[in-house]
A and B are shown apart, each in its own frame.
Chain A
Protein backbone atom coordinates (compact mmCIF):
# COMPACT_ATOMS: atom_id res chain seq x y z
CA UNK A 1 0.00 0.00 0.00
CA UNK A 2 2.98 2.35 -0.23
CA UNK A 3 3.47 3.11 -3.90
CA UNK A 4 0.18 4.85 -4.61
CA UNK A 5 -0.49 8.53 -4.91
CA UNK A 6 -2.17 10.26 -1.95
CA UNK A 7 -5.84 9.38 -1.84
CA UNK A 8 -8.53 11.81 -0.73
CA UNK A 9 -11.79 10.20 0.34
CA UNK A 10 -14.80 12.34 1.26
CA UNK A 11 -17.62 10.89 3.34
CA UNK A 12 -20.93 12.62 2.81
CA UNK A 13 -24.68 12.15 3.11
CA UNK A 14 -27.83 13.88 1.97
CA UNK A 15 -28.65 14.72 5.56
CA UNK A 16 -27.12 14.40 8.98
CA UNK A 17 -27.46 11.51 11.37
CA UNK A 18 -27.07 8.69 8.85
CA UNK A 19 -23.80 7.41 10.27
CA UNK A 20 -21.36 9.60 8.37
CA UNK A 21 -19.31 10.32 11.46
CA UNK A 22 -19.44 6.68 12.57
CA UNK A 23 -17.98 5.62 9.25
CA UNK A 24 -15.38 8.40 9.11
CA UNK A 25 -14.03 7.77 12.58
CA UNK A 26 -14.02 3.99 12.36
CA UNK A 27 -12.44 3.97 8.92
CA UNK A 28 -9.72 6.38 10.03
CA UNK A 29 -8.96 4.39 13.18
CA UNK A 30 -8.92 1.17 11.19
CA UNK A 31 -6.43 2.55 8.66
CA UNK A 32 -4.30 4.03 11.43
CA UNK A 33 -3.63 0.52 12.72
CA UNK A 34 -1.50 -0.03 9.64
CA UNK A 35 -0.38 3.34 8.34
CA UNK A 36 -0.48 7.09 8.65
CA UNK A 37 -3.88 8.66 7.93
CA UNK A 38 -5.47 12.10 8.20
CA UNK A 39 -9.08 12.59 9.29
CA UNK A 40 -10.52 16.04 8.66
CA UNK A 41 -13.88 17.08 10.09
CA UNK A 42 -15.33 19.58 7.63
CA UNK A 43 -18.80 19.52 9.18
CA UNK A 44 -17.81 22.85 10.71
CA UNK A 45 -21.29 23.74 11.96
CA UNK A 46 -21.58 20.55 13.97
CA UNK A 47 -18.21 18.79 14.08
CA UNK A 48 -18.60 15.47 15.89
CA UNK A 49 -15.65 13.31 14.85
CA UNK A 50 -13.47 14.74 17.61
CA UNK A 51 -15.76 13.26 20.22
CA UNK A 52 -14.40 9.84 19.30
CA UNK A 53 -10.69 10.55 19.74
CA UNK A 54 -8.67 11.69 22.68
CA UNK A 55 -5.41 12.85 21.18
CA UNK A 56 -2.71 15.33 21.91
CA UNK A 57 -3.41 18.86 20.69
CA UNK A 58 -0.44 19.73 18.51
CA UNK A 59 -1.69 22.88 16.89
CA UNK A 60 -4.52 25.36 17.26
CA UNK A 61 -5.21 28.47 15.22
CA UNK A 62 -7.94 30.98 14.67
CA UNK A 63 -9.25 31.01 11.12
CA UNK A 64 -10.03 34.33 9.54
CA UNK A 65 -11.97 35.59 6.60
CA UNK A 66 -11.16 38.92 4.98
CA UNK A 67 -13.57 41.82 5.28
CA UNK A 68 -13.21 45.49 4.37
CA UNK A 69 -12.64 48.08 7.06
CA UNK A 70 -13.64 51.66 6.42
CA UNK A 71 -10.97 54.31 6.78
CA UNK A 72 -12.90 57.50 7.34
CA UNK A 73 -9.87 59.72 6.81
CA UNK A 74 -9.33 58.48 3.26
CA UNK A 75 -12.96 58.19 2.12
CA UNK A 76 -14.31 60.81 -0.25
CA UNK A 77 -17.85 59.38 -0.09
CA UNK A 78 -17.78 58.73 -3.82
CA UNK A 79 -20.54 56.11 -3.44
CA UNK A 80 -18.81 53.34 -5.38
CA UNK A 81 -18.54 50.69 -2.66
CA UNK A 82 -22.24 50.27 -1.84
CA UNK A 83 -22.90 49.99 -5.56
CA UNK A 84 -20.36 47.23 -6.23
CA UNK A 85 -21.29 44.98 -3.31
CA UNK A 86 -23.74 42.37 -4.55
CA UNK A 87 -24.52 41.24 -1.01
CA UNK A 88 -25.44 44.59 0.54
CA UNK A 89 -22.60 44.04 2.99
CA UNK A 90 -21.44 47.64 2.65
CA UNK A 91 -23.89 50.51 2.75
CA UNK A 92 -23.73 54.25 3.02
CA UNK A 93 -25.77 56.10 5.60
CA UNK A 94 -25.27 59.82 5.35
CA UNK A 95 -21.57 60.51 5.75
CA UNK A 96 -20.80 57.02 7.04
CA UNK A 97 -19.89 53.74 5.35
CA UNK A 98 -21.04 50.66 7.27
CA UNK A 99 -19.73 47.13 6.76
CA UNK A 100 -21.75 44.05 7.78
CA UNK A 101 -19.15 41.32 8.26
CA UNK A 102 -21.70 38.44 8.34
CA UNK A 103 -22.96 39.36 4.88
CA UNK A 104 -19.53 39.85 3.31
CA UNK A 105 -18.33 37.14 0.93
CA UNK A 106 -14.76 38.47 0.77
CA UNK A 107 -14.89 39.19 -2.95
CA UNK A 108 -12.59 42.23 -2.62
CA UNK A 109 -14.62 44.26 -5.15
CA UNK A 110 -15.31 47.21 -2.84
CA UNK A 111 -11.78 47.25 -1.51
CA UNK A 112 -10.07 47.06 -4.91
CA UNK A 113 -12.44 49.46 -6.63
CA UNK A 114 -12.37 52.15 -3.96
CA UNK A 115 -10.52 55.00 -5.66
CA UNK A 116 -8.83 56.18 -2.47
CA UNK A 117 -7.95 52.85 -0.84
CA UNK A 118 -10.30 53.64 2.01
CA UNK A 119 -11.51 50.05 2.40
CA UNK A 120 -8.48 47.89 3.19
CA UNK A 121 -9.27 44.21 3.77
CA UNK A 122 -8.64 43.04 7.30
CA UNK A 123 -8.98 39.59 8.86
CA UNK A 124 -12.02 38.69 10.96
CA UNK A 125 -12.16 35.46 12.98
CA UNK A 126 -14.76 32.97 11.74
CA UNK A 127 -13.71 29.80 13.51
CA UNK A 128 -11.01 27.73 15.15
CA UNK A 129 -8.92 24.94 13.67
CA UNK A 130 -7.42 22.25 15.89
CA UNK A 131 -4.94 19.57 14.93
CA UNK A 132 -4.51 16.49 17.12
CA UNK A 133 -2.06 13.62 16.96
CA UNK A 134 -3.14 10.11 17.98
CA UNK A 135 -0.41 7.66 16.94
CA UNK A 136 -0.66 7.20 13.18
CA UNK A 137 -3.78 9.33 13.04
CA UNK A 138 -3.75 13.06 12.44
CA UNK A 139 -7.08 14.55 13.28
CA UNK A 140 -7.95 18.07 12.11
CA UNK A 141 -11.23 19.76 12.96
CA UNK A 142 -12.63 23.23 12.50
CA UNK A 143 -15.42 24.79 14.47
CA UNK A 144 -17.47 27.64 13.07
CA UNK A 145 -18.07 30.49 15.53
CA UNK A 146 -21.70 30.80 16.64
CA UNK A 147 -23.38 33.65 14.79
CA UNK A 148 -21.02 33.29 11.81
CA UNK A 149 -23.13 32.74 8.72
CA UNK A 150 -20.80 31.20 6.18
CA UNK A 151 -19.20 27.81 6.46
CA UNK A 152 -17.51 27.76 3.06
CA UNK A 153 -14.51 30.02 3.81
CA UNK A 154 -13.70 27.99 6.93
CA UNK A 155 -13.98 24.73 5.01
CA UNK A 156 -11.70 25.92 2.24
CA UNK A 157 -9.09 27.25 4.71
CA UNK A 158 -9.17 23.97 6.60
CA UNK A 159 -8.54 22.07 3.37
CA UNK A 160 -5.60 24.36 2.63
CA UNK A 161 -4.12 23.70 6.06
CA UNK A 162 -4.39 19.96 5.48
CA UNK A 163 -2.86 20.18 2.01
CA UNK A 164 0.05 22.24 3.33
CA UNK A 165 0.77 20.07 6.36
CA UNK A 166 -0.28 16.57 5.37
CA UNK A 167 -0.32 16.73 1.58
CA UNK A 168 1.83 13.64 1.20
CA UNK A 169 0.15 11.36 3.73
CA UNK A 170 -1.19 8.51 1.63
CA UNK A 171 -4.83 8.62 2.81
CA UNK A 172 -6.93 11.60 3.90
CA UNK A 173 -10.57 11.23 4.92
CA UNK A 174 -12.87 14.24 4.86
CA UNK A 175 -16.00 14.08 6.99
CA UNK A 176 -18.23 16.42 4.96
CA UNK A 177 -21.17 18.53 6.07
CA UNK A 178 -24.61 17.08 5.29
CA UNK A 179 -26.93 18.34 2.57
CA UNK A 180 -26.53 19.35 -1.06
CA UNK A 181 -25.70 23.05 -0.88
CA UNK A 182 -22.47 25.06 -1.11
CA UNK A 183 -20.64 23.70 1.95
CA UNK A 184 -20.97 20.11 0.70
CA UNK A 185 -19.73 21.10 -2.72
CA UNK A 186 -16.74 22.83 -1.15
CA UNK A 187 -15.97 19.82 1.02
CA UNK A 188 -16.21 17.21 -1.72
CA UNK A 189 -15.19 18.89 -4.95
CA UNK A 190 -11.50 17.95 -4.68
CA UNK A 191 -12.01 14.41 -3.42
CA UNK A 192 -10.79 11.47 -5.49
CA UNK A 193 -13.70 9.38 -4.28
CA UNK A 194 -16.87 10.13 -2.34
CA UNK A 195 -18.66 7.70 -0.06
CA UNK A 196 -22.34 8.50 0.43
CA UNK A 197 -23.77 7.11 3.64
CA UNK A 198 -27.47 6.42 3.82
CA UNK A 199 -30.12 4.44 5.64
CA UNK A 200 -32.50 1.96 3.97
CA UNK A 201 -35.61 4.06 4.64
CA UNK A 202 -37.80 6.40 2.57
CA UNK A 203 -36.03 9.45 4.08
CA UNK A 204 -32.68 7.81 3.43
CA UNK A 205 -33.57 7.06 -0.18
CA UNK A 206 -34.83 10.56 -0.86
CA UNK A 207 -31.77 12.20 0.67
CA UNK A 208 -29.48 9.78 -1.11
CA UNK A 209 -31.01 10.61 -4.49
CA UNK A 210 -30.25 14.30 -3.85
CA UNK A 211 -26.68 13.48 -2.80
CA UNK A 212 -26.25 11.41 -5.96
CA UNK A 213 -27.38 14.35 -8.08
CA UNK A 214 -24.86 16.54 -6.28
CA UNK A 215 -22.01 14.13 -6.95
CA UNK A 216 -23.02 13.82 -10.58
CA UNK A 217 -23.02 17.62 -10.89
CA UNK A 218 -19.50 17.63 -9.46
CA UNK A 219 -18.48 14.68 -11.64
CA UNK A 220 -16.99 12.88 -8.62
CA UNK A 221 -16.77 9.08 -8.59
CA UNK A 222 -18.82 7.77 -5.69
CA UNK A 223 -20.24 4.72 -3.98
CA UNK A 224 -22.79 4.07 -1.28
CA UNK A 225 -22.54 2.60 2.20
CA UNK A 226 -25.84 1.56 3.74
CA UNK A 227 -25.99 2.05 7.47
CA UNK A 228 -28.50 0.38 9.80
CA UNK A 229 -29.04 -2.26 7.15
CA UNK A 230 -32.04 -4.41 8.01
CA UNK A 231 -34.47 -1.73 9.10
CA UNK A 232 -36.79 -0.11 6.59
CA UNK A 233 -37.08 -1.59 3.12
CA UNK A 234 -35.13 -2.60 0.01
CA UNK A 235 -35.71 0.52 -2.02
CA UNK A 236 -32.22 1.92 -1.51
CA UNK A 237 -30.68 -1.30 -2.81
CA UNK A 238 -33.04 -1.29 -5.80
CA UNK A 239 -32.28 2.34 -6.51
CA UNK A 240 -28.52 1.71 -6.47
CA UNK A 241 -28.94 -1.25 -8.78
CA UNK A 242 -31.04 0.73 -11.25
CA UNK A 243 -28.67 3.67 -11.18
CA UNK A 244 -25.59 1.48 -11.41
CA UNK A 245 -24.17 2.78 -8.17
CA UNK A 246 -21.79 0.48 -6.33
CA UNK A 247 -22.83 -0.46 -2.79
CA UNK A 248 -19.52 -0.72 -0.95
CA UNK A 249 -20.83 -2.09 2.32
CA UNK A 250 -23.86 -2.69 4.48
CA UNK A 251 -23.45 -1.97 8.16
CA UNK A 252 -26.05 -3.94 10.11
CA UNK A 253 -28.77 -2.35 12.19
CA UNK A 254 -27.75 -3.19 15.70
CA UNK A 255 -28.74 -1.56 18.91
CA UNK A 256 -25.30 -2.30 20.39
CA UNK A 257 -23.67 -0.21 17.63
CA UNK A 258 -26.02 2.67 18.44
CA UNK A 259 -25.08 2.35 22.10
CA UNK A 260 -21.34 2.41 21.40
CA UNK A 261 -21.82 5.45 19.16
CA UNK A 262 -23.85 7.20 21.83
CA UNK A 263 -20.94 6.87 24.28
CA UNK A 264 -18.42 8.16 21.74
CA UNK A 265 -16.78 4.77 21.25
CA UNK A 266 -15.39 3.26 18.08
CA UNK A 267 -17.12 0.02 17.25
CA UNK A 268 -15.35 -1.90 14.50
CA UNK A 269 -13.17 -3.88 16.92
CA UNK A 270 -16.29 -5.36 18.50
CA UNK A 271 -17.90 -6.30 15.21
CA UNK A 272 -15.81 -8.43 12.83
CA UNK A 273 -18.37 -7.92 10.06
CA UNK A 274 -17.90 -4.17 10.34
CA UNK A 275 -14.13 -4.54 10.27
CA UNK A 276 -14.52 -6.58 7.08
CA UNK A 277 -16.71 -3.87 5.62
CA UNK A 278 -14.07 -1.23 6.37
CA UNK A 279 -11.45 -3.32 4.64
CA UNK A 280 -13.75 -3.74 1.60
CA UNK A 281 -14.47 -0.03 1.46
CA UNK A 282 -10.80 0.89 1.60
CA UNK A 283 -9.85 -1.66 -1.02
CA UNK A 284 -12.59 -0.40 -3.32
CA UNK A 285 -11.54 3.24 -3.01
CA UNK A 286 -7.89 2.46 -3.67
CA UNK A 287 -8.67 0.31 -6.69
CA UNK A 288 -11.24 2.69 -8.10
CA UNK A 289 -9.00 5.73 -7.92
CA UNK A 290 -5.94 3.93 -9.23
CA UNK A 291 -7.97 2.58 -12.10
CA UNK A 292 -9.34 6.03 -12.84
CA UNK A 293 -6.00 7.83 -12.76
CA UNK A 294 -3.73 5.38 -14.58
Chain B
Protein backbone atom coordinates (compact mmCIF):
# COMPACT_ATOMS: atom_id res chain seq x y z
CA UNK B 1 0.00 0.00 0.00
CA UNK B 2 1.20 3.45 -0.90
CA UNK B 3 0.21 6.88 0.41
CA UNK B 4 -0.04 9.24 -2.56
CA UNK B 5 0.86 12.82 -1.64
CA UNK B 6 -0.87 15.59 -3.58
CA UNK B 7 -0.07 19.28 -3.34
CA UNK B 8 -2.96 21.60 -4.25
CA UNK B 9 -1.45 25.00 -4.97
CA UNK B 10 -3.42 28.28 -4.62
CA UNK B 11 -6.61 26.48 -3.62
CA UNK B 12 -7.97 29.80 -2.28
CA UNK B 13 -7.23 31.92 -5.35
CA UNK B 14 -7.58 29.48 -8.24
CA UNK B 15 -10.91 27.90 -7.46
CA UNK B 16 -13.47 28.45 -10.23
CA UNK B 17 -15.98 26.00 -11.69
CA UNK B 18 -15.71 23.16 -9.20
CA UNK B 19 -12.20 22.34 -10.40
CA UNK B 20 -11.12 20.92 -7.03
CA UNK B 21 -13.48 18.00 -7.60
CA UNK B 22 -10.83 16.53 -9.89
CA UNK B 23 -8.79 16.11 -6.72
CA UNK B 24 -11.76 14.92 -4.63
CA UNK B 25 -12.58 12.17 -7.11
CA UNK B 26 -8.92 11.31 -7.74
CA UNK B 27 -8.66 10.72 -3.98
CA UNK B 28 -11.78 8.52 -4.06
CA UNK B 29 -10.29 6.52 -6.90
CA UNK B 30 -6.93 6.11 -5.13
CA UNK B 31 -8.77 4.74 -2.09
CA UNK B 32 -10.71 2.34 -4.30
CA UNK B 33 -7.39 0.86 -5.41
CA UNK B 34 -6.62 0.08 -1.78
CA UNK B 35 -4.00 2.81 -1.47
CA UNK B 36 -4.09 5.93 0.65
CA UNK B 37 -3.84 9.62 -0.21
CA UNK B 38 -3.04 12.92 1.49
CA UNK B 39 -3.81 16.36 0.06
CA UNK B 40 -1.93 19.43 1.25
CA UNK B 41 -3.25 22.91 0.46
CA UNK B 42 -0.68 25.42 1.68
CA UNK B 43 -1.66 28.88 2.91
CA UNK B 44 -1.68 31.71 0.39
CA UNK B 45 1.85 33.06 -0.33
CA UNK B 46 3.55 30.43 1.89
CA UNK B 47 6.82 29.19 0.34
CA UNK B 48 6.27 26.32 -2.11
CA UNK B 49 7.91 23.04 -1.13
CA UNK B 50 7.69 20.32 -3.81
CA UNK B 51 9.83 17.54 -2.35
CA UNK B 52 7.93 14.46 -1.29
CA UNK B 53 4.84 15.11 -3.41
CA UNK B 54 3.70 12.68 -6.09
CA UNK B 55 1.44 15.18 -7.81
CA UNK B 56 0.86 18.94 -7.93
CA UNK B 57 -2.48 20.50 -8.91
CA UNK B 58 -3.43 24.09 -9.83
CA UNK B 59 -6.96 25.02 -10.88
CA UNK B 60 -8.52 27.74 -13.00
CA UNK B 61 -9.09 31.10 -11.34
CA UNK B 62 -10.24 34.67 -11.81
CA UNK B 63 -7.85 36.58 -14.08
CA UNK B 64 -6.99 39.12 -11.37
CA UNK B 65 -6.24 36.34 -8.88
CA UNK B 66 -3.91 34.74 -11.41
CA UNK B 67 -2.02 38.01 -11.77
CA UNK B 68 -1.90 38.42 -7.98
CA UNK B 69 -0.31 35.02 -7.30
CA UNK B 70 2.01 34.96 -10.32
CA UNK B 71 4.93 36.77 -8.71
CA UNK B 72 4.94 34.32 -5.81
CA UNK B 73 4.76 31.37 -8.20
CA UNK B 74 7.50 32.68 -10.48
CA UNK B 75 9.80 33.23 -7.48
CA UNK B 76 9.86 29.40 -7.28
CA UNK B 77 10.55 28.93 -11.01
CA UNK B 78 13.78 26.97 -10.55
CA UNK B 79 12.39 24.27 -8.27
CA UNK B 80 9.17 23.99 -10.31
CA UNK B 81 11.02 23.49 -13.60
CA UNK B 82 13.38 21.01 -11.97
CA UNK B 83 10.49 18.98 -10.52
CA UNK B 84 8.67 18.83 -13.86
CA UNK B 85 11.87 17.92 -15.75
CA UNK B 86 12.38 15.14 -13.19
CA UNK B 87 8.96 13.65 -13.95
CA UNK B 88 6.76 14.88 -11.10
CA UNK B 89 3.07 14.63 -12.09
CA UNK B 90 1.50 18.07 -12.59
CA UNK B 91 -2.02 19.00 -13.60
CA UNK B 92 -2.77 22.63 -14.47
CA UNK B 93 -6.25 23.56 -15.64
CA UNK B 94 -7.58 26.67 -17.36
CA UNK B 95 -5.70 29.92 -17.04
CA UNK B 96 -3.20 28.52 -14.52
CA UNK B 97 -1.38 27.26 -17.62
CA UNK B 98 -0.39 30.86 -18.31
CA UNK B 99 1.99 30.67 -15.33
CA UNK B 100 4.14 28.10 -17.14
CA UNK B 101 4.72 30.16 -20.27
CA UNK B 102 6.95 33.14 -21.01
CA UNK B 103 4.50 35.79 -19.87
CA UNK B 104 0.83 36.79 -19.77
CA UNK B 105 -1.33 39.89 -19.62
CA UNK B 106 -3.91 40.67 -16.92
CA UNK B 107 -7.27 42.50 -17.27
CA UNK B 108 -5.61 45.85 -16.53
CA UNK B 109 -3.29 45.32 -19.53
CA UNK B 110 -0.15 44.72 -17.43
CA UNK B 111 2.39 42.13 -18.49
CA UNK B 112 3.36 39.41 -15.97
CA UNK B 113 6.22 36.97 -16.09
CA UNK B 114 5.71 33.20 -16.24
CA UNK B 115 8.27 30.56 -15.32
CA UNK B 116 9.24 30.11 -19.00
CA UNK B 117 8.98 26.34 -19.10
CA UNK B 118 6.97 26.62 -22.33
CA UNK B 119 7.36 29.31 -24.95
CA UNK B 120 3.71 30.32 -25.21
CA UNK B 121 2.31 33.63 -23.99
CA UNK B 122 -1.07 34.25 -22.31
CA UNK B 123 -3.31 36.97 -23.73
CA UNK B 124 -6.20 38.35 -21.66
CA UNK B 125 -9.25 39.46 -23.67
CA UNK B 126 -11.71 40.46 -20.89
CA UNK B 127 -14.34 38.62 -22.94
CA UNK B 128 -15.94 35.35 -21.88
CA UNK B 129 -15.26 32.54 -24.35
CA UNK B 130 -17.05 29.21 -23.88
CA UNK B 131 -16.77 26.14 -26.08
CA UNK B 132 -17.01 22.35 -26.03
CA UNK B 133 -14.15 20.20 -27.27
CA UNK B 134 -13.64 16.55 -28.03
CA UNK B 135 -10.18 15.34 -28.91
CA UNK B 136 -7.84 12.37 -28.98
CA UNK B 137 -5.28 12.42 -26.16
CA UNK B 138 -1.65 11.83 -27.08
CA UNK B 139 -1.28 9.15 -24.39
CA UNK B 140 -3.83 6.99 -26.27
CA UNK B 141 -5.09 8.03 -29.69
CA UNK B 142 -7.88 5.43 -29.57
CA UNK B 143 -9.57 7.33 -26.75
CA UNK B 144 -11.69 10.47 -26.95
CA UNK B 145 -11.78 13.09 -24.19
CA UNK B 146 -14.45 15.76 -23.65
CA UNK B 147 -13.61 19.19 -22.29
CA UNK B 148 -15.38 22.52 -21.81
CA UNK B 149 -13.54 25.84 -21.88
CA UNK B 150 -14.82 28.89 -20.03
CA UNK B 151 -12.09 31.48 -20.25
CA UNK B 152 -11.23 35.10 -20.91
CA UNK B 153 -7.69 34.46 -22.16
CA UNK B 154 -5.91 32.30 -24.72
CA UNK B 155 -2.35 31.17 -25.42
CA UNK B 156 -0.31 32.62 -28.24
CA UNK B 157 2.61 30.70 -29.76
CA UNK B 158 3.34 27.31 -31.24
CA UNK B 159 1.98 24.31 -29.33
CA UNK B 160 5.08 22.11 -29.19
CA UNK B 161 3.70 19.52 -26.76
CA UNK B 162 -0.03 19.16 -27.45
CA UNK B 163 -2.14 16.95 -25.21
CA UNK B 164 -5.09 16.60 -27.61
CA UNK B 165 -5.63 16.27 -31.34
CA UNK B 166 -8.88 18.19 -31.50
CA UNK B 167 -11.77 16.51 -33.33
CA UNK B 168 -14.04 19.48 -32.82
CA UNK B 169 -13.92 22.51 -30.57
CA UNK B 170 -11.49 24.86 -28.88
CA UNK B 171 -7.71 25.05 -29.08
CA UNK B 172 -5.17 26.88 -26.96
CA UNK B 173 -5.16 29.83 -29.30
CA UNK B 174 -7.70 32.47 -30.24
CA UNK B 175 -8.91 30.30 -33.13
CA UNK B 176 -9.15 26.51 -33.46
CA UNK B 177 -5.95 25.01 -34.88
CA UNK B 178 -6.44 21.33 -34.22
CA UNK B 179 -4.31 21.16 -31.07
CA UNK B 180 -5.14 21.69 -27.43
CA UNK B 181 -3.42 21.37 -24.11
CA UNK B 182 0.09 20.54 -23.04
CA UNK B 183 1.61 17.16 -22.27
CA UNK B 184 5.29 17.41 -21.43
CA UNK B 185 6.88 14.58 -19.44
CA UNK B 186 4.27 14.15 -16.68
CA UNK B 187 2.91 17.70 -16.90
CA UNK B 188 -0.68 17.97 -18.14
CA UNK B 189 -2.35 21.25 -19.00
CA UNK B 190 -5.73 21.89 -20.60
CA UNK B 191 -8.21 24.73 -21.05
CA UNK B 192 -10.90 22.24 -20.09
CA UNK B 193 -12.34 23.40 -16.79
CA UNK B 194 -14.25 21.62 -14.05
CA UNK B 195 -14.50 17.84 -13.79
CA UNK B 196 -12.17 16.87 -16.68
CA UNK B 197 -10.60 13.92 -14.85
CA UNK B 198 -13.97 12.91 -13.37
CA UNK B 199 -15.76 12.73 -16.72
CA UNK B 200 -12.93 11.19 -18.76
CA UNK B 201 -12.03 7.68 -17.57
CA UNK B 202 -9.02 7.38 -19.89
CA UNK B 203 -7.47 10.54 -18.45
CA UNK B 204 -8.17 9.49 -14.86
CA UNK B 205 -6.72 6.04 -15.53
CA UNK B 206 -3.64 7.56 -17.11
CA UNK B 207 -2.98 9.74 -14.05
CA UNK B 208 -3.67 6.82 -11.68
CA UNK B 209 -1.23 4.68 -13.67
CA UNK B 210 1.48 7.30 -13.29
CA UNK B 211 0.84 7.45 -9.55
CA UNK B 212 0.16 3.79 -8.76
CA UNK B 213 1.05 1.57 -11.72
CA UNK B 214 -1.50 -1.13 -12.51
CA UNK B 215 -3.55 -0.67 -9.33
CA UNK B 216 -6.03 1.48 -11.31
CA UNK B 217 -7.49 -1.75 -12.73
CA UNK B 218 -9.35 -2.13 -9.41
CA UNK B 219 -11.61 0.82 -10.28
CA UNK B 220 -14.95 0.54 -12.07
CA UNK B 221 -15.49 3.22 -14.71
CA UNK B 222 -18.67 1.83 -16.29
CA UNK B 223 -20.94 4.76 -15.43
CA UNK B 224 -18.30 7.32 -16.43
CA UNK B 225 -17.62 5.57 -19.74
CA UNK B 226 -21.36 5.30 -20.53
CA UNK B 227 -21.83 8.99 -19.77
CA UNK B 228 -18.86 9.95 -21.94
CA UNK B 229 -20.08 7.76 -24.80
CA UNK B 230 -23.42 9.62 -24.72
CA UNK B 231 -21.61 12.96 -24.88
CA UNK B 232 -19.48 11.84 -27.83
CA UNK B 233 -22.57 10.43 -29.59
CA UNK B 234 -24.22 13.85 -29.35
CA UNK B 235 -21.33 15.37 -31.30
CA UNK B 236 -21.71 12.68 -33.96
CA UNK B 237 -25.49 13.25 -34.18
CA UNK B 238 -24.84 16.89 -34.82
CA UNK B 239 -22.46 16.16 -37.68
CA UNK B 240 -24.80 13.74 -39.47
A and B interact physically: no
